[in-house]
């Protein structure tokens, strides 16, 4: 058999080529592996780092262009003014009185707010034996317990009744608050000069809210010589100073004003002049009271960029007064929005409104307390004890109509300043602080001049009609 003998040199050449090919393949594979390792260990992390840096830069840019928003919801109600029947509704033989029931029907609204404000119209009596009613009020301390339990966390106290019993009852009222509720801001009355010179600030959701509270005057001569600091009374220089202090330590200023003409639904000239002044000083919100009836609300602004939300009067909150407008009430509601961008903050007052309420009382079955008007019924209205005084004028439809009427009033802002330097004597006359002369208000437009008078002229001198 013939052998196929391959020359040695040919076999060597083939083996050499195979070896070369294998080497090339190995080299290619090695290059591919090295390339993949280079990408995985070096280029990929670099790419990912670059992408992450670009993403962070984009996010930082968006963040820098997007303000941080925080909000605080606020509600405020009018005068917490107890008369004798209301006192009796909380009494019992045990000697422990309780007034929680008064606020039952509005608890949801009070407790849903971040800040809930109430005007505690009167001082507290040091004991049950010292309780009194119109014309000089001294309210059971249990009323203070009830309003805190209901959810109110800011108490306004600068009113014309703050000195009904002079220094002693004013001091006992302050002691009640400091002993039992030291964390509750009590506005408008002070135990010391230092406290009177200090702006009350409450921080809510990162928003620092400053509160100021002043009354046009008081029914008597104050707390006495040497104690003038105990009640905050309108004074242009003092208020200017306090607003400046408030600006330095807060984001938003709420000013509570006890002012106006009783039973008058149109703001008077004194209110309008002070409102314009407070706007110019930088107050964000003004909450008014004292007339015991509702007045309109709205916005004040000027060409200097000042903007202020104003509620001229919220009327009563708790009382047993005896006219339909005195029982028609308002709950102010608004949201404070703080926007912070690049370290600079701005404040806006959003969605301001007055929600109508009605004070219900039935002396026969002992029912007392305010309702939101949306929750009130004609059946309740027909059982209201005020019908014994004003008859069938008190109806749900008439309450709604009166609310619409008052809220539709056009309040013309004042540009005058002549009433910013007046004080009030015990008869309610305005006295120029410089000259001592009586100052006449010749500018006010009364509601009966603005529209038809709907009252029936009924007058009543009983305790329940007094304020």
pLDDT, one tens digit per residue, over 308-327 is 999 999 999 999 999 999 99
* pLDDT, average across residues 162-183: 98
Residue 57 pLDDT > 80, yes or no?
no
Q: What pLDDT score was predicted for residue 406?
A: 98
For the residues 162-166, what does the mean pLDDT come to?
A: 97
Residue ranges covered by each domain of the chain? 68-417
Q: To 5 degrees, how large is the angle CA 96–CA 368–CA 352?
A: 115
Residue 466 has pLDDT above 80, yes or no: no
Q: How confident is the model at residue 453 (pLDDT cuts 50, 70, 90)?
A: very low
Distance, first Cα to last Cα, the chain: 141
Q: Which of 379, 332, 377 shows the shortest CA–CA distance to 356? A: 332
Q: Helix and strand tally (H, E) in the chain?
A: 14, 18
pLDDT-derived band at 8 (thresholds 50, 70, 90) equals: low
Please tell me the distance from the alpha carbon of residue 149 to that of residue 153, in angstroms, as a whole number.
9
Look at residue 457 in the predicted model and tell me its pLDDT: 37
pLDDT value of residue 448: 75
Q: CA 190: distance to chain centroid?
A: 21
- Say what the pTM is: 0.86
241-262 b/e with 16+ CB inside 10 Å = b? ebbebbeeebbbbbbbbbbbbe
Q: Which residues contact 223 (CB under 8 A, 6 or more apart)?
A: 163, 166, 167, 170, 230, 231
CATH of domain 68-417: 3.60.21.10
Query: Mean pLDDT over residues 115-136, rounded?
Result: 97
Alpha carbon distance 394, 396 (integer Å): 7
d(CA 402, CA 400): 6
Is the model's pLDDT at 402 over the cut of 70?
yes
Half-sphere exposure of 250 (CA within 13 A, CB side): 25
Q: Comparing C-alpha atoms, which of 72, 11, 124, 87 is closest to residue 335?
A: 72
């Amino acid at each position: 058999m013939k052998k196929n003998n391959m020359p040695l040199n040919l076999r060597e050449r083939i083996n050499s080529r195979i070896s070369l090919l294998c080497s090339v393949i190995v080299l290619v594979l090695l290059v591919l592996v090295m390339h993949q390792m280079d990408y995985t260990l070096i280029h990929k992390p670099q790419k990912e780092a670059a992408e992450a840096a670009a993403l962070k830069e984009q996010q930082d840019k968006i963040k820098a262009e997007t303000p941080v928003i925080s909000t605080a919801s606020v509600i405020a109600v009018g005068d917490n003014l107890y008369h004798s029947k209301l006192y009796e509704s909380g009494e019992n033989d045990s000697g422990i009185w309780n007034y929680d029931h008064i606020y039952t029907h509005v608890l949801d609204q009070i407790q849903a707010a971040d800040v809930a404000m109430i005007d505690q119209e009167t001082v507290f009596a040091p004991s049950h034996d010292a309780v009194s009613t119109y014309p000089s009020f001294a309210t059971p301390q249990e009323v203070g317990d009830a309003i805190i339990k209901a959810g109110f966390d800011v108490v306004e106290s600068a009113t014309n009744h703050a000195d009904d019993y002079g220094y002693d009852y004013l001091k006992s009222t302050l002691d009640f608050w400091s002993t039992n509720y030291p964390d509750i801001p009590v506005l408008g009355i002070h135990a010391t000069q230092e406290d009177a010179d200090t702006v009350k600030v409450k921080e809510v959701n990162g928003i620092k809210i400053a509160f100021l509270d002043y009354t046009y005057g008081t029914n008597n001569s104050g707390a006495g010589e040497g104690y003038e600091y105990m009640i905050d009374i309108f004074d242009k220089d003092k208020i200017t100073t306090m607003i400046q202090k408030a600006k330095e330590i807060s984001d938003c200023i709420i000013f509570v004003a006890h002012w106006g003409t009783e039973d008058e639904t149109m703001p008077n000239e004194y209110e309008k002049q002070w409102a314009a002044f407070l706007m110019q000083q930088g107050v964000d919100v003004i909450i008014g009271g004292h007339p015991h009836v509702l007045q309109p609300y709205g916005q004040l602004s000027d060409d200097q960029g000042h903007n202020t939300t104003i509620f001229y009067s919220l009327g009563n909150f708790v009382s047993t007064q005896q006219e339909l407008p005195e029982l028609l009430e308002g709950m102010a509601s608004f949201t404070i929005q703080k926007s912070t961008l690049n370290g600079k903050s701005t404040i806006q007052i959003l969605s301001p409104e007055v929600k109508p309420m009605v004070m219900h009382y039935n002396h026969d079955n002992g029912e007392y307390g305010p309702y939101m008007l949306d929750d009130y019924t004609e059946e309740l209205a027909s059982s209201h004890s005020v019908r014994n005084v004003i008859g069938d004028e008190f109806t749900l439809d008439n309450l709604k109509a009166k609310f619409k009427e008052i809220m539709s009033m056009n309040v013309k802002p004042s540009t005058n300043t002549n009433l910013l330097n007046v004080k009030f004597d015990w008869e309610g006359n305005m006295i120029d602080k410089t000259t001592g002369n009586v100052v006449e208000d010749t500018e006010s437009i009364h509601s009966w001049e603005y529209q038809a008078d709907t009252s029936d002229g009924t007058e009543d001198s009983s305790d329940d009609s007094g304020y």
